[in-house]
Amino acid sequence: MRPKSNSQRTRVSVVLIFLDEAPFLQEAIESVISQSFEMWELLLVDDGSTDGSTDIAKMAAQCLPP
C-alpha cells in the first residue's frame, strides 16, 4: 500500500469564532499552531469584536503561511 500524497491526506479545519476575546485569542491561535498534526487550516471569524481581537487575528493571519 502506497502512502497517501499530501492532497489525499486528511485535513483538519479549525473554525475559531470570536467576539471580544482579546485576552484569550492569541493563546487559542498558538494552541492550534503548536499541534503536531501538520495538515490543518485555521479560519478566524470575527463576530464584531471591539476590544482589539480583530487586530490579533489580522496579525496572526499575516504571520501564518497561506
Q: Could you state, in chain order, the average pLDDT of each consecutive group of 10 residues for the chain (66 residues)?
A: 63 96 97 93 96 96 84
Residue 20 CA to residue 54 CA, distance in Å, equals 9
Rounded to two decimals, the pTM is 0.80
SS3 44: strand
Query: Given this model, what pLDDT does residue 8 score?
Result: 62
- Closest by CA to 56, choosing from 16, 17, 29, 32, is 29
Query: Given this model, what pLDDT does residue 28 score?
Result: 97
Query: Given this model, what pLDDT does residue 14 score?
Result: 96
Query: Given this model, what pLDDT does residue 7 score?
Result: 57
Query: Given this model, what pLDDT does residue 3 score?
Result: 59
Residue 9 CA to residue 23 CA, distance in Å, equals 34
